[in-house]
Amino acid sequence: MSDIILGFCCNYTSSVDEDTLKKAGLVPDGLRIKRLPCTGKLEINTLLDAFEQGAEAVFVAGCQVDKCHNLSGSQRAAKRVGYAKKILEELGIDPARLEMFFVSRGETEPIVEAARHMSGVLSDAESIHR
Amino acid sequence: MIVAERKPMNEILDMISGVNRLLVLGCRGCVAVCSAGGDKEVDVIASALRLGRKKAGQQIEIDTDTLVRQCDPEYLEPLKERGKQFDAVLSTACGVGVNFIADRCPGVRVLPALNTTFYGANMSSGEWIELCAGCGSCVLHLTGGLCPVARCAKRLSNGPCGGSVGGRCEIDPNVPCVWQRIHDKLVEQKQDKLLKDITPIRDWTTAGHGGPRRRIREDLLP
Amino acid sequence: MIAGSNLEQVLRSGNFAVTGELGPPKSGDFEVVRKKARILKGHVDAVNITDCQTAIVRMSSLTAALLALSEGVEPVMQMTCRDRNRIGIQADILGASALGIKNLLCLTGDHQKFGNHPQAKGVFDMDSIQLLGMVKQMRDEKKFQCGEEIKSNEPELFLGAAANPFADPFEYRPIRLGKKVAAGANFIQTQIIYNVEKFAKFMEMVRDLGLHEKVFILAGVTPPKSLGMARYMKRFVPGLDVTDEVIDRLSDAKDQREEGINICVDIINQVKEIEGVSGVHVMAIEWEEAVPEIVKRSGLGPRPEPQGVEPRLVSPGAIEEAVERARHEIRDEFEKELDKARSEAQASRGLLIKEKESASAEIAGLRKELEDVKRSAVKGEAEIKRLTTELEEAKEELQKAGSLQVVAGEATGGPASISQTEFNQGAMTESISSGKLSLREQDALSSLNLGLKALQKVLGLSEDQFEALRRFLEAEFLLQLGQAAPPAPAAGMIPAPAEAPVASTPEEVRETETKKVAARQKDVINLVAKANVLLHKNNVEEALNLFKKALEIAPEDEKAIEGLNKAKALLAEKETGPAGTAEAIPSAEGLPPCPEEITPEEWSRKWVVRYVAMGNVRLMKGDSDGAMEAFKKALELDPGDEKAKEGLERAQAGKGIHVPEVSTEKAVAPGEKEEVPPAEVIPEEKEAREPEAAPPVEAITEKEEAEAPAPEEEKKEAEAPKPAPKVQLSGTPEHEGVGSLEVPVLEKETRSLVERAGSIPEDLYREPCSGSIKDVLIGDGEKAITVGGETTLPFHLFEGDMPNPPRVAFEVLDSRPEEWPDVLTRYFDDCLDDPVKWARKCVDEFNAKAICLSLISTDPNGADVPASDAAKIAKDVVDGVDVPVILWGCGNADKDTETLREVTSLIGNKKVCVGPLSDANYRTLGATAMAFQLPVVASTPIDVNLAKQLNILLENLGVSLNHILMDPSIGAVGYGLEYTYSVMERIRLAALTQQDEKLSAPIVVNLGREVWKAKECRLPSDILLGDQERRGVIMESITASTLLLAGGELMIMRHPKAVALTEALIEGMM
């Protein structure tokens, strides 16, 4: 079982690459992490495309609300995630497959938690990609 | 500007069932300004439809483009041929754009991606309100610049109804009573005589109740 | 006379008019209309027939009006603009007029949103005022709205309109009424009035406009049917002002309907007196029965005989029906008669019963007589027989009478039982208020009642509901009293110890006791807190004493007990030496306490993850036993964890390879691989002190490091950042990250390069420089330092001389640093608020060769301390240490000028170095420095040309290059170090190889501030990033060593260990 979970992290929230995390046995094998300069740069269609291109779950890990390097980047991301969730719902896709996390900078644990949470969401869900 | 909003994706998906090649066609006019049908929204709609189709296990080829406007003939010119390469063109313009494509591009099947809502303004980021009803016979000079036709739930012409309490409309406490505001404004501008005059019954033909409206300026005609 | 309607006639004759209201049914049932009409008939002059009131679909007002008219009740047909356009409205008006309707009330209509078809399209072709105008034009000008003539039979209608005195804007309402009058209203019916005062004010304004003389105004009234209805109207009907008085009257009333009628009558009597009010419009909504009573009680009955009320439309069936109705009426009357007769009969039967009673008494007498007769036995057979039959008869009668009495008893049963319950309730209330309850209980009960009242208001409960709730709670309360007796503390109260002394009242006692308890609790908390602090500081004995004290006061205090145990264990450990080794895996049972914000499950889960990670790392390092142990721990916490299972298997599989290392222990029980006991038994106490986030890799690195030779330590730190070593139980203060501040001496290269180069000709690698760096003297006396002076690139000792080694200055802030991480401040904890003490500590303890005092508090964007105050602090620091001092301003050119001038005026000729001078303030500061011959720092933003330019400017001003230190502005490693390096290198090359004298000033590198603001120095310790302090120290020393190689001569740094490392490096390289 390697459901693909795609995580969008900003430069500041994660300094660890997915391989290290996987090697340490901390995250599901299907995890892919895409690093962005700032989650505020994320477009709604990028999130939707991630699903279309094979992800079963997507999460965005941005800076903590008041600690964003670009002030409101992560808040912006959260709003877009909210809108994308709405579209998923309209498409009959469980919006829980997309989640926003505000994580403290540079720590590894929140990313691990986020990945595990998404993995949990998928545990008894059917694949979008039949 | 004309304010519109996206139709629910499932409705659009139903609309395009059987369509295998689709052009999502945006408009950089009003709908782009009100974040309903510009380049960004076109991308989102295209992505969502691809995902929706994929989920249903069906193929679809989606192309995207955005025109400067969909309500002027010169911009539609290239679409006349290009549109035929697609099973359908999903227009994210207002109803004007969709109609105009249907009028001017024979052989092109055009579908609406948006619900055209009203003429309004951007209150704050993400919020638009209706300010004009396009009734074709403006009375704003009598009402302190505030339109009772667009902004009063009963389109009253002669002052507030009995449901105006505390400056709020009885319909919804979040809606201000426009007549209270008209009253206050006219009093403030010492124009309160206007409040005593009876506004006669309206002629609604200008509002479209006399059939589709047309405007001619002879000097500009070809 | 306009239309000649009854209403018009009543009003014109000066009579006080009364109109009613009739809501058509939500069905096609004409009987409903007729029934309502019959109720109102004779009590009102006309009846309003509503037009789909509140936008709910009902029988049309025109139809219902006709039905009412056919009952002989004059209708006021209501007409709204919501559902019809001008075509429909005019059509209906023509029809209404044709069928004898003479009154029309013109309304805009309630918005469809409120009705049962909110999705409907609201027409609103016109508003009520325009409607009035249109109908008036039809009537008076015989023209349709479009202007076309009405050839004959124009509608003759008496026109009404509505007015709401309670809507906003209040001051505009009479004006709008005026518009209605001008548009054609003949009479006005107002919104329901409860607030008579406001209505009177409204009428005053109406009279001021003279409208009361142009229009008949009927005041709208409605008897509130119930408290609920009144509340609903108050809350949910916009523009309806229901006063609190009305609500109160209803909620206090026994019979709400009766009170509702009274309220209505009172309002009628009040509005009747207001000038300009010509009548009342009684809207008894779905309560038509109330109208006759209201009219009667307010003295408005009987109404004048109606005139001109004639239905024009009578269907053929109507006559038949009328006959039928008459028949019904007669039958009703007959039945009434019959009932009367029946009740009379009943009454006479009662009389009969009484007679029978007397008869039975008589019989009893007779029986007695009979007995007498029997006893005397003188009477004859016949006589006896007659008497016996008589007796039988009497008996029968008696039985009949008896059964009747039973019936009567049943009939009175209902009320009797009610009074019984009432009595019971009374008794309960009495028992509550009587002496049976203590004062406190009564208090509680009354507050309960108050709370309930509030609840009732908030929830809008009806009286009955509220009563029920109250009774229920009271009962519950009493029940609990009974159960919890005798001391019966209420939930949430602190248990009151012992019985109160007799002298004071129970309340007082409770209060003082509560206070005492609270004080005691406070003491305990204080003691425990103090003890914990001591424990943390390793003062175990003291802590133990404090915990004991705390327990003396509160033997039950869990925190204290826990602390005591911890302290005891620590003490024991201290005595026996540290138990256990560095191998410190928290055992499954003894996980550190779960933090509050997460659930125990999550906590346990976290530890499973940690253990698994720990195991994996150990496995990677070849430590199978360690790994096995970690995996087992994980499995203890979560036996189902796949990763842990898998890891355990791998560990077990890989174990064979590493057997030699562990064979001594394992050899004992080779067959019991599954049940290998943990290699080390870790005492519980140690667990408890384990730092919460103890990363799992520590054990291994610790061991390895202990074996590693000292010079390699640095490398190791860089490669495998490792977390805190164990807490040291004795000796110097604990440093979790870097351990001792001691730095081993760097091994020096003793052979010269020529020697090492062997046969390579010297001129191949030797490139001596032609230029030289100026030397700058900072400070006074023995400890003064000279920086610069070299004739070669940094440390190229084989090419030239470097007479003065680069120096390191400790940075001291003039106020408590706000953003320094804990790993930095911990070294200066005792002196952060005292710059002098701080500087001294740097000199005395950390052997600082120079001090850089950063005057951060002067920043206008920060604390903005006045220049004079900062200058005093600076003077104290300069006086307080014997090493050279660099005074570094806040970076605001103007403020720095001010501050540094103040300083120089205070310290006089002491050779303090001042900076930073920028292109914005070099003139003023340069002049000051020149006056006192002070060395200055010329600061430019990472640019060779700018640096040179500033030097030229300063020189032009007269400042000697021997007094200038260049600050090229630097970036820490990871934050632009390479760029800094490049700029510095170019400056140095220019000075040395191109003899660019203007760039030959020594370079000062203020790097501590840059390094410690990097996020890598602030992030907490983490599995992957390693220990925070080591991270910071490494970053600072790497930045320093790199920039030393680029030409830095005076390094300003922060961390003592980083300084020590840097100095060791300089030492080793010279």
Give the start-to-end residue ranges of the domains of chain B.
Answer: 2-118, 134-206
So what's the pLDDT on residue C309?
85
pLDDT bracket for residue C688 (50, 70, 90): very low
Question: Which of C613, C1015, C1020 comes nearest A25 by C-beta?
Answer: C613
The verdict on C410 and C274 lying in the same domain is no
So what's the pLDDT on residue C416?
41
Instruction: State the average pLDDT over residues C685-704.
Output: 43
Chain A residues 62-121 with CB within 8 Å of chain B: 87, 90-93
C245 in a structural domain: yes
Beta bridge pairs of residue C217: C188, C277
So what's the pLDDT on residue C670?
43
pLDDT bracket for residue C542 (50, 70, 90): confident
C609 chain-A contacts, CB cut-off 8 A:
26, 112
The answer to whether B55 contacts A93, with C-beta atoms less than 8 Å apart, is yes
Distance CA C607, CA C609 (A): 5
| Among candidate residues C543, C576, C609, the one where a domain is terminated | C576
Distance CA C874, CA C867 (A): 10
Query: Which chain C residue has its CA at the smallest distance from B148's CA?
Result: C127
Please give, rounded to a whole number of angstroms, the shortest distance from the CA of B171 to a CA of chain A. Answer: 28
Instruction: State the average pLDDT over residues A75-95.
Output: 95
Sheet containing A5-10, strands listed edge to edge, beginning at the edge strand earlier in sequence: A31-36, A5-10, A57-63, A98-103
Q: Does pLDDT of B116 surpass 50?
A: yes
Q: Does pLDDT of C434 surpass 60?
A: no
Least confident stretch, B201-210, C35-44, C111-120, C507-516: C507-516
Instruction: State the average pLDDT over residues C478-489.
Output: 50
So what's the pLDDT on residue C698?
42
Query: CB atoms < 10 A from the CB of C166, how many?
Result: 23
So what's the pLDDT on residue C597?
65
Distance CA A37, CA C1048 (A): 33
Instruction: State the average pLDDT over residues C275-304.
Output: 94
Do C282 and C48 contact (CB within 8 A), yes or no? no
Instruction: State the average pLDDT over residues B12-18.
Output: 96
Q: What is the mean pLDDT of chain C?
A: 80
Instruction: State the average pLDDT over residues A1-28.
Output: 77
Do C162 and C174 contact (CB within 8 A), yes or no? no
The verdict on C841 and C878 lying in the same domain is yes
C616 chain-A contacts, CB cut-off 8 A:
23-25
C223 in a structural domain: yes
The verdict on C225 and C169 lying in the same domain is yes
Chain C neighbours (≥3 Cβ pairs under 8 A) are A, B
A26 chain-C contacts, CB cut-off 8 A:
609, 613
Could you give the angle at which helices C624-637 and C642-655 cross, rounded to 10 degrees?
Answer: 150
So what's the pLDDT on residue C442?
66
Number of folded domains that form chain C:
6
Could you give the angle at which helices A73-90 and A44-52 cross, rounded to 10 degrees?
Answer: 50
So what's the pLDDT on residue B12?
97
So what's the pLDDT on residue C14?
94
Q: How far is CA C876 from CA C752, C779, C870, C903, in A?
A: 46, 15, 10, 10
DSSP string across C165-195: TTSSSGGGHHHHHHHHHHHT-SEEEEEEPS-
User: Is the torsion defined by CA of C831, C835, C836, C841 positive or negative?
Assistant: positive
- Match 């907490």 to its residue by tokens: C1020
pLDDT bracket for residue C36 (50, 70, 90): very high
**Rg of chain C in Å (alpha carbons):** 53
The answer to whether A15 contacts C1025, with C-beta atoms less than 8 Å apart, is yes
C302 in a structural domain: no
Type of residue at C918: S
Query: CB atoms < 10 A from the CB of C896, how many?
Result: 28
The verdict on C201 and C98 lying in the same domain is yes
So what's the pLDDT on residue C676?
43
DSSP string across C775-828: EEEESSSTT-EEEE--SSSTT-TTTS---S--EEEEEEESS--SS--HHHHTTS
Return phi, psi of residue C729, to 5°: -85, -15
The answer to whether C175 contacts B196, with C-beta atoms less than 8 Å apart, is yes
Which CATH number do you get for residue C516?
A: 1.25.40
Q: How far is CA C726 from CA A106, C450, C630, in A?
A: 25, 61, 19
Distance CA C204, CA B36 (A): 54
C43 in a structural domain: yes
Query: Which chain B residue has its CA at the smallest distance from A49's CA?
Result: B47
Helices vs strands, H then E, count in chain B: 9, 7
Q: Does pLDDT of C417 surpass 70?
A: no
B203-217, C382-396, C550-564: which is most confident: B203-217
So what's the pLDDT on residue C484?
46
Type of residue at C674: E
C743 in a structural domain: no
Burial per residue of C369-408, b for 16 or more beta-carbon CB atoms within 10 angstroms, e otherwise: ebeebeeeeeeeeeeeeebeeeeeebeebeeebeeeeeee
Q: Does pLDDT of C38 surpass 60?
A: yes
Give, as one character, the DSSP assignment of residue C863: T
The verdict on C185 and C201 lying in the same domain is yes
pLDDT bracket for residue C438 (50, 70, 90): low
A6-20, B27-41, C500-514, C622-636: which is most confident: B27-41
Strands C936-939 vs C913-917: parallel, antiparallel or unpaired: parallel
Looking at per-residue pLDDT, the higher value among B158 and C508 belongs to B158
So what's the pLDDT on residue C739?
73
Question: Which of A43, A91, A129 comes nearest B52 by C-beta?
Answer: A91
Interchain CB contact of B57 with A (< 8 Å): yes
Distance CA C782, CA C121 (A): 98
Please give, rounded to a whole number of angstroms, the shortest distance from the CA of A48 to a CA of chain C. Answer: 31
Which CATH number do you get for residue C169?
A: 3.20.20.220
So what's the pLDDT on residue C623?
73
Interchain CB contact of A19 with B (< 8 Å): no
Query: Which chain A residue has its CA at the smallest distance from B51's CA?
Result: A52
**Residues ≥6 apart with Cβ < 8 Å to C509:** C496, C500, C501
pLDDT bracket for residue C515 (50, 70, 90): low
The verdict on C525 and C415 lying in the same domain is no
Which CATH number do you get for residue C868?
A: 3.20.20.20
pLDDT bracket for residue C113 (50, 70, 90): very high
So what's the pLDDT on residue C466?
65
Chain A neighbours (≥3 Cβ pairs under 8 A) are B, C
Do C487 and C510 contact (CB within 8 A), yes or no? no
Distance CA C465, CA C470 (A): 9
What pTM value is reported for the model? Answer: 0.53
Instruction: State the average pLDDT over residues C593-606.
Output: 70
Instruction: State the average pLDDT over residues A12-34.
Output: 79
A107 chain-C contacts, CB cut-off 8 A:
1019-1020, 1022
The answer to whether C1025 contacts A112, with C-beta atoms less than 8 Å apart, is no
Looking at per-residue pLDDT, the higher value among C186 and C518 belongs to C186
B198 chain-C contacts, CB cut-off 8 A:
129-130, 133, 179, 182-183
Chain B contacts to C (CB-CB under 8 A): 153-168, 170-171, 177, 180, 183-184, 195-196, 198-202, 204
Type of residue at C265: V
Chain C residues 159-188 with CB within 8 Å of chain B: 162-164, 166-169, 172, 175-176, 178-179, 182-183
So what's the pLDDT on residue C588?
46
Q: Shortest CA distance to C473 belongs to which of C448, C508, C496, C453?
A: C448
The verdict on C406 and C540 lying in the same domain is no
Distance CA C357, CA C843 (A): 126
The answer to whether B40 contacts A129, with C-beta atoms less than 8 Å apart, is no
So what's the pLDDT on residue A26?
79
The answer to whether C616 contacts A107, with C-beta atoms less than 8 Å apart, is no
Burial per residue of C218-238, b for 16 or more beta-carbon CB atoms within 10 angstroms, e otherwise: bbbbbbbbbbbbbbebbeebb
So what's the pLDDT on residue B207?
93
Distance CA C175, CA C206 (A): 8
Q: Does pLDDT of B2 surpass 70?
A: yes
The verdict on C794 and C907 lying in the same domain is yes
The answer to whether C613 contacts A105, with C-beta atoms less than 8 Å apart, is no
Type of residue at B218: E
Length of chain B: 222
Give, as one character, the DSSP assignment of residue C59: S
C415 in a structural domain: yes
Do C363 and C394 contact (CB within 8 A), yes or no? yes
Q: What is the 3-state secondary structure of chain A?
A: CCCCEEEEEECCCCCCCHHHHHHCCCCCCCEEEEEECCHHHCCHHHHHHHHHCCCCEEEEEEECHHHECCECHHHHHHHHHHHHHHHHHHCCCCHHHEEEEEECCCCCHHHHHHHHHHHHHHCCCCCCCC
Q: Does pLDDT of C724 surpass 70?
A: no
So what's the pLDDT on residue C1059?
92
Do C914 and C929 contact (CB within 8 A), yes or no? yes
Return phi, psi of residue A61, to 5°: -115, 110
C1023 chain-A contacts, CB cut-off 8 A:
24, 108-109
Domain extent at residue C93:
6-297
pLDDT in tens, A54-82: 999 999 999 988 888 888 899 999 999 99
So what's the pLDDT on residue B212?
93
C662 in a structural domain: yes
So what's the pLDDT on residue C478?
61
The answer to whether C1015 contacts A109, with C-beta atoms less than 8 Å apart, is no
Q: Shortest CA distance to B68 belongs to which of B31, B43, B41, B95?
A: B31
C127 chain-B contacts, CB cut-off 8 A:
154-158
Reduce the DSSP state of residue C938 to 3 states and report it: strand
Distance CA A67, CA C1022 (A): 19
Do C729 and C775 contact (CB within 8 A), yes or no? no
The verdict on C279 and C321 lying in the same domain is no
Which fold would CATH assign to domain B2-118? Rossmann fold (3.40.50)
Instruction: State the average pLDDT over residues C369-384.
Output: 70
Distance CA A5, CA A122 (A): 9
Q: Token pair for residue C393?
A: 């008869």
Q: Does pLDDT of C546 surpass 90?
A: no
Beta bridge pairs of residue C810: C851, C1053
So what's the pLDDT on residue C605?
74
The verdict on C411 and C444 lying in the same domain is no
A43 chain-B contacts, CB cut-off 8 A:
40, 43-44
Length of chain C: 1070
Q: What is the mean pLDDT of chain B?
A: 95
Q: Please give the interface size between A and C, counted as residue pairs whose CB atoms are below 8 Å apart.
A: 35
Return phi, psi of residue B63, to 5°: -110, 155
So what's the pLDDT on residue C957?
86
ipTM for the complex?
0.93
So what's the pLDDT on residue B152?
96
So what's the pLDDT on residue B34?
95
So what's the pLDDT on residue C520?
72
Type of residue at A111: I
The verdict on C27 and C135 lying in the same domain is yes
Question: Which of B9, B43, B51 comes nearest A51 by C-beta?
Answer: B51
Do C51 and C61 contact (CB within 8 A), yes or no? yes
Looking at per-residue pLDDT, the higher value among B147 and C427 belongs to B147
Interchain CB contact of C191 with B (< 8 Å): yes
Please give, rounded to a whole number of angstroms, the shortest distance from the CA of B20 to a CA of chain A. Answer: 17
pLDDT in tens, B120-154: 999 999 999 999 999 999 999 999 999 999 999 99
The answer to whether C1024 contacts A20, with C-beta atoms less than 8 Å apart, is yes
Interchain CB contact of C1019 with A (< 8 Å): yes
The verdict on C426 and C445 lying in the same domain is no
